[in-house]
Structure 1
Amino acid sequence: MIVYNLTINIHESVHDQWLHWMQTQHITDTLATGKFDSARMVKVLVEEEMGGVTYSVQFTTQDRETLNRFYLEDAARLEQQALRLYGDKMLTFKTELEIISEH
């Protein structure tokens, strides 16, 4: 199983609006691609020197091929929506993780 992880630092001035959008639209739209089995959103419990609030959104998928199809078919559209709405108020980076075992 593969985890597609987005780590996002969001500026306080748009935090509440962004959080609502993430929970009601962006995560739903990403799951609607049919390429992910589940999603989890967690708050990162660290104070950033640059300010803002940091979150991790983790989408699980069965294999690398499915994640690659997401990149080819859906990622650009979803990223553009986020940039159009929050642009320079949001800093994002992606990490791909492979689940080795769960206990």
Structure 2
Amino acid sequence: MILYNETLSIDNTVADEWLQWMQEVHIPAVMGTGYFLGNQISRLMHEVANDGTTYAVQYTCRSLEDLEEYQREHAPEIDLRHHTRYQGKYVVFRSMLEVVARDVERKGGE
């Protein structure tokens, strides 16, 4: 399983509207491509004092091949809509992670 992560700092002047747009427009468009199994948005709890709010938007997919095909076939158009709407109001860092274990439980006393 592959986790595609976009860590994004969004200007506070548009952060609330951005979050709503992500949930109502952007993420449904990404999920509508059929390449991803799930998604989540997390907010950084201990923000550095600046004019932005940091979020991690994460998508899970079956394979690196699926992610690479999404990036070739769909990401340029979807990302352009985001960039056009929020140009100059965000900074993004993207990463791909291989999930090597999930829901690991704590053993007693260790």
For the aligned pair, the TM-score class normalised by the smaller chain equals: over 0.9
Deviation of the 1:50 alpha carbon: 3.5
Aligned to 1:56: 56
CA distance in 2, matches of 1:41, 1:57: 5
Q: For residues 56-95 of structure 1, what are the structure 2 equivalents within 5 Å?
A: 56-95=56-95
Give the aligned residue type for 2:76. Answer: A
C-alpha distance in structure 2 between counterparts of 1:16 and 1:50, whole Å: 16
Q: Aligned-residue CA RMSD in angstroms?
A: 0.9
Q: Percent identity?
A: 33
TM-score by structure 1 length? Answer: 0.95
Instruction: State how far apart, in whole Å, the 2-side matches of 1:34 and 1:65 are.
Output: 13
Q: How many Å separate the matches in 2 of 1:65 and 1:45?
A: 33
> Looking at CA atoms only, which structure, 1 or 2, has the larger radius of gyration?
2
**Distance in 1 separating the partners of 2:69 and 2:97:** 16
Structure 1 portions without partners, runs of 5+: none
Encode CA deviations 1:32-81: one digit per residue, 9 max, x unaligned: 01000000111012323443000001100000000010110011111100
1:13 is displaced (CA, Å) by: 0.7
The residue that corresponds to 2:33 in the other structure is 33
Kindly indicate whether residue 22 of structure 2 is the aligned counterpart of residue 22 of structure 1.
yes
- Structure 2 distance, partners of 1:17, 1:30, is 18
- Segments ≥4 residues shifted beyond 3 Å: none
Report the equivalent of 1:98. Answer: 98
Supply the distance in 2 between the matched residues of 1:77 and 1:26 (Cα, whole angstroms). Answer: 11
Aligned length: 103
